[in-house]
Amino acid sequence: MEKRSWHSISPAATRTIGAEIWRLRGLTTVIALSGDLGAGKTELVKGLAQAAGYGGAVTSPTFTLCQEYPISEGILYHVDLYRLSGPEDFEGIGLWELLPPDGGVVLIEWAEKAAGCLPVDAIEVVLRNGTEPDDRWVEALFPGGGGSDG
């Protein structure tokens, strides 16, 4: 387990952090984002998606639950669990069955709503609001040896 922390002072900086997390990802296929409302999860996904080679628009799939972005290594799934009540609800939607077996990469906003249901080797990213309006704190926990060789 390796921990990385960043202080962001702009949306662009948060997108750059997303790109860095993408480069540090290794073989991990699930990236779980949690933390404060408006802390920049979607902004971070924009950076991740761009680094993955997706050039289109990224918006929170709050109502559609899941959006698919084509990337060179398959599909990047952008999931937003905001509207779920919690893990009981997550079991019910059968997200893992919706995804093809070779899964691509899955980015999950509001991952705290799926606590206990995510793979143990998921990268866990927590975003917090700081004291200034554009202040954000980002912390990423990489499983196993990940994050050390990027």
Q: Which amino acid belongs to residue 127?
A: L
How far apart are the C-alpha atoms of 11 and 46, rounded to whole Å?
10
Tell me: does residue 42 bind ligand ADP (CB under 6 A).
yes
CB of 79 to Mg ion, least distance (A): 11
Stretch that binds Mg ion, among 4-12, 36-44, 115-123, 126-134 (CB under 5 A): 36-44
Q: Which two tokens stand for residue 18?
A: 């997303």
Least separation in angstroms between CB 142 and ligand ADP:
20
- Contact between 57 and ligand ADP per CB under 6 A: no
Q: How far does the chain reach from its first CA to its final CA, in angstroms?
A: 14
Of 40, 143, 146, 147, the one binding ligand ADP by CB under 6 A: 40
Interacting residue with ligand ADP among 21, 24, 32, 39 (CB under 6 A): 39
Query: Is residue 32 classed as helix, strand or coil in its secondary structure?
Result: strand
Whole-number Å distance between alpha carbons of 86 and 11: 28
Cβ 50 to ligand ADP, closest distance in Å? 14
| CA distance linking residue 54 with residue 14, whole number of Å | 17
Cα distances (Å, whole numbers) of residue 49 to 69, 77, 86, 97, 133: 8, 10, 26, 23, 25
Q: Is 47 in the site for ligand ADP (CB under 6 A)?
A: no
Stretch in the footprint of Mg ion (CB under 5 A) among 30-38, 65-73, 106-114, 123-131: 106-114
Judged by CB, which is closer to ligand ADP: 121, or 139?
A: 139
Q: Which residues bind Mg ion (CB under 5 A)?
A: 41-42, 60, 109
